[in-house]
């Protein structure tokens, strides 16, 4: 696909032992896959700004992208920036049905057990488990 982005930003949101995950809608790339919220970084946009924008677009919440915790490259050559992110107080998650079918709070073990987990997210948990970075 010629419109495949070159860079993406991902929001890693943790509440105790659980991570915020989304089930991608049927109308986006990788439909029906479970992953962290995020998406392509626009031209001249920083990964941090893209994380904030994507959270507004996908889940209707304002967030603070606090710290980039990891950068990876997918088999398709997509440079992925993983950001520790917090949802600002008083926000209610409201999925955009054009992009997100649903959201869940799951433990790392529950996430990696999903057969429909996006490969890049599986790599994230392998790197986390191997101590490549910490959250």
CATH code where residue 46 lies: 3.90.79.10
Q: Are 120 and 80 in contact (CB under 8 A)?
A: yes
Q: Is residue 117 within 8 Å of residue 35, measured between CB atoms?
A: yes
Q: What is the rounded radius of gyration, in angstroms, for the C-alpha atoms of the chain? A: 14
> Domain limits at 48?
7-129
In a domain? residue 20: yes
Q: Which residues pair with 67 in a beta bridge?
A: 84
User: 38: exposed, middle or buried (C-beta count within 10 Å: 0-12, 13-18, 19+)?
Assistant: buried
Separation of CA 46 from chain center: 16
Is residue 134 assigned to a domain?
no
Is 94 a domain residue? yes
Asked if residue 2 belongs to a domain, the reply is no
Under the banding of pLDDT at 50, 70 and 90, the label for residue 69 is very high
Model confidence at 29, pLDDT cuts 50, 70, 90, reads confident
Does 135 fall in a domain?
A: no
Do 124 and 103 touch, CB atoms closer than 8 A?
Answer: no
Q: Nearest CA to 69 among 6, 13, 1, 3?
A: 13
Dmax over CA atoms of the chain, in Å, equals: 40
- Domain-located, residue 1: no
- Is residue 30 helix, strand or coil? coil
pLDDT band for position 3 (cuts 50, 70, 90) = low
CA 43 to chain centre: 19
Q: Between 4 and 69, where is the model more confident?
A: 69
Number of domains in the chain: 1
């Amino acid at each position: 696909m010629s419109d495949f982005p070159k860079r993406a930003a991902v929001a890693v949101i943790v509440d105790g032992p659980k991570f915020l995950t989304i089930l991608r809608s049927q109308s986006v790339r990788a439909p029906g896959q479970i992953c962290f919220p995020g998406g392509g970084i626009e031209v001249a946009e920083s990964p941090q700004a893209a994380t904030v924008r994507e959270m507004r677009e996908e889940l209707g919440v304002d967030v603070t992208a606090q710290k980039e915790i990891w950068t990876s490259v997918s088999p398709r050559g997509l440079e992925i920036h993983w950001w520790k992110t917090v949802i600002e107080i008083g926000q209610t998650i409201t999925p955009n049905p054009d992009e997100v079918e649903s959201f869940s709070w799951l433990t790392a073990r529950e996430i990696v057990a999903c057969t429909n987990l996006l490969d890049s997210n599986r790599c994230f948990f392998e790197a986390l488990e191997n101590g490549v970075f910490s959250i």
